[in-house]
């Protein structure tokens, strides 16, 4: 039933015949899946980037700023 709805949507949206819609449906669905996977990958890489930025800010930049400001030296510099 869902595939029939997709075929009808392709027919109406693109003005295709039933035969053409049925022929193009697998290509259309493959493109939709490809876009979904790209979206997932984008979200994963964004999360990784945020995690790396957090590590940089808290574990590298903050101690360097503290040393630059003449504050307490931490870690290996004690």
CA angle 48, 53, 58 (to 5 degrees): 130
Are the C-beta atoms of residues 51 and 58 closer than 8 Å to each other?
A: no
- Encoded tokens for 33: 């899946």
CA angle 59, 60, 62 (to 5 degrees): 80
Look at residue 22 in the predicted model and tell me its pLDDT.
Answer: 75
Calculate the average pLDDT of the chain.
79
| Alpha-carbon gap, residue 72 to 75, rounded angstroms | 10
Look at residue 44 in the predicted model and tell me its pLDDT.
Answer: 93
| Alpha-carbon gap, residue 70 to 78, rounded angstroms | 13
pLDDT tops 60 at residue 19 = yes
């Amino acid at each position: 039933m869902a595939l029939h709805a997709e075929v009808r949507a392709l027919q109406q949206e693109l003005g295709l015949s039933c035969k053409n819609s049925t022929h193009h449906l697998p290509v259309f669905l493959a493109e939709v899946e490809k876009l979904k996977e790209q979206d997932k990958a984008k979200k994963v890489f964004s999360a990784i980037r945020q995690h790396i930025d957090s590590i940089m800010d808290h574990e590298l930049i903050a101690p360097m700023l503290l040393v630059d400001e003449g504050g307490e030296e931490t870690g290996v510099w004690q």
